[in-house]
Structure 1
């Protein structure tokens, strides 16, 4: 069973205790601490390995959004906002929050939010990704004298990946929904799987991807065939919703080109 090291951040003691009681229904949640301010939360996070934060927004001195800024995007724990105010919802999803719960939190909505986190962790859990990276690096070292030292190959219709779990994965480009970066590695997402391969986003973009693929963020490329709608955010940014319901942020740098193509 997945265990999520979790902290609760809220300036109201009663809110923290009420949430703590509700979370007792979920064996996946391991509460390792609580904080009543952003500064206290940062100190707590610096001393513990945190997977999930239940985070209030309107707190004295600093808001919950200030805590998000403490992290690099790729290193941020999963965040579920818990607040009495609905007007921050758009901004919450701009920073890629997993969910946005209104106080008082209902148990069924809490269960739904936790299930979303668990699904996310199954794909991106740090220990799994590190293990994959190590195995792929090992294969790369073993094959360093071969003609093709990369962990992937391709033709006009398919991407071929050698990952840690399967010697060869042949993926049709038409099945790929989006690709995002994880350092020197890429996560290639289809409707049913996520494949990890050693490559850089710029390399994929310039060398192999069909025209249907477009960069929408410094760390994300999307297959335009799966973009269902664009929701405008602030500062000329957008939230792209895929046909699967997955949402991806479109940064201002790439939004103009995306709007032209869909």
Structure 2
């Protein structure tokens, strides 16, 4: 039996302990790590690549939603959300075939979630699905009716994100480290924040982003000014290491142009 390498993410040690005790009854689950913050979880994910994450939504500083936004689209693990939200709110997850557990976690419900993840026909939700669920859940919680597609534009040297249920964001291009795509969503990453907008990568590259941005993967754009070094992999692929120590994969398709642009 293939085991599911599992990470538990919750800011309450007692919640992690309780979930770990319950998970001990499932031979297919191997707990390989615990994290109390989003930053700790991201470090662990980059190093150990878990198959499954039990993710608390409400945490101080950065929520579980922020972790979802930071995940690399090409290596998105299966996620089971753990939440204290009332069941009407998490219907946003159900309609996109995502799973969740309501606190306090019941063993019977935990078994259902694990069976679903373990099912050979199950495919982990993509980052696009996760972001769409997060978006819908936040809209339900705020009781705001979704509007039209949000606008994004250039304001001098800034990217302007106008989302129907969020304040207008003006992000200097110099502050953007990388951008990754998840279908109709784009995650814009700075040193300390991640901003989500509805947009297509092709439109950003052709119409919006300045020349210092380059596509390095089918789902990733990087600001060349923030690359500190390249680490070679197999088959002419690379890891690009950014100024904040973030590691991004450079696919073979885009590696040649990247090397030319950096030299």
Q: How many correspondences in the alignment?
A: 172
- Distance across 2 between alignment mates of 1:122 and 1:28: 19
| Unmatched segments (≥5 aa) in structure 1 | 1-6, 11-15, 42-51, 56-77, 81-96, 102-117, 141-148
Secondary structure of the equivalent of 2:135? helix
Distance 1:195 1:79, change over 3 A: closer
Alignment of 1:1-262 (within 5 A): 9=4, 27-28=15-16, 30-31=19-20, 32=23, 34-35=26-27, 54=32, 97-100=45-48, 122-124=66-68, 129=131, 130-132=133-135, 135=139, 138-140=146-148, 150-163=150-163, 166-262=166-262
Question: 2:146 is paired with a residue of what secondary structure?
Answer: helix
Q: How far apart are the structure 1 equivalents of 2:63 and 2:248? A: 16
Task: Indicate conservation of the 8 Å contact 2:191/2:244, yes or no.
Answer: yes
CA distance in structure 2 between the partners assigned to 1:195 and 1:119 by the alignment:
14
Q: In structure 1, what is the Cα distance between the partners aligned to 2:225 and 2:165?
A: 28
Q: Name the CA distance, whole Å, in 2 between partners of 1:261 and 1:123.
A: 31
Q: In the TM superposition, what whole-angstrom CA distance separates every residue of 1:200-231 from its partner, at most 9, and x where no partner exists? A: 11110111100000000000000000001100
Deviation at 1:193, TM superposition (A): 0.7
More relative contact order, 1 or 2 (CA 8 Å, 6+ apart): 2
SS of residue paired to 2:147: helix
CA distance in 2, matches of 1:187, 1:79: 18
The ranges of structure 1 where at least 4 consecutive aligned residues each deviate by more than 6 angstroms after the TM superposition are: 125-128
Check whether the contact 1:177–1:191 (CA below 8 A) recurs between aligned residues. yes
Q: CA deviation at 1:27?
A: 3.5
Q: Which residue number in structure 2 is paired with residue 4 of structure 1?
A: none
SS at match of 1:138: coil
Distance 2:258 2:190 in 1: 21
Q: Where do 5+ consecutive residues of structure 2 fail to align?
A: 34-41, 50-61, 70-78, 80-92, 94-129
Q: How far 1:131 moved relative to its partner? A: 3.5
Q: Structure 1 153/229 Cα, relative in aligned 2: closer, same or farther at 3 Å?
A: same
Distance between the aligned counterparts of 1:248 and 1:120, measured in 2?
Answer: 21
Query: How far did 1:138 drift?
Result: 1.4
2: distance between equivalents of 1:159 and 1:230? 27
The answer on whether the counterparts of 2:241 and 2:248 sit within 8 Å (CA) in structure 1 is: yes
**In structure 1, what is the Cα distance between the partners aligned to 2:238 and 2:145?**
36
